[in-house]
Amino acid sequence: MEDTIFMKIIRREIPADIVYEDAETIAFLDVKPAAPGHTLVVPKKPVQNIFDVDDGTLVAVMRTVRKIAPAVRNSVGAHGVHINSNHGAAAGQIVFHLHFHIIPRHDRNEFSFWPQHDSARSEFVTIAEKIRQLLG
């Protein structure tokens, strides 16, 4: 895997506002926050995204997400958080080193959620069947 900007932060080669670190993970403020307090949680192991991460690494990252989410929320007096993660360029992933965004939310009207739409029953049936087949 190519060296990413997050590996440089992990190695302290570039500055970051690190808020938490343990043997397997690190968390720091996003340099372009969607809201004040926007924090990224990253494994120290260089994996790209959900498609190549191993269970142990993902568990370590989610443990850190759970551990720090209340502090991130409370640091800015927010009432909730988005926990978001982009996997693949088509999904908006820019840094190809697995990470979860923790974005404090004060009010659900701050910004809009992704658009949702109704779907035909036949589409649900076809897609659910395909996923089950692919899972074996």
Q: Which residues bind ligand AMP (CB under 6 A)?
A: 5, 16, 28, 30-32, 40, 86, 92-95
Q: Which of 79, 87, 97, 99 is catalytic?
A: 99
Q: Are 100 and 47 in contact (CB under 8 A)?
A: no
97 given a catalytic annotation: no
d(CA 109, CA 61) in angstroms, rounded, equals: 29
| 8 Å CB contact between 74 and 68 | no
**Residue 128: CB minimum distance to ligand AMP, A:** 28
In the complex, least distance from residue 11 CB atom to ligand AMP, rounded to whole angstroms: 13
User: 105: left (phi > 0), else alpha (psi -120 to 50), else beta?
Assistant: beta
Q: Looking at beta carbons only, is 17 or 123 nearer to ligand AMP?
A: 17
Task: Cite the active site residues.
Answer: 99
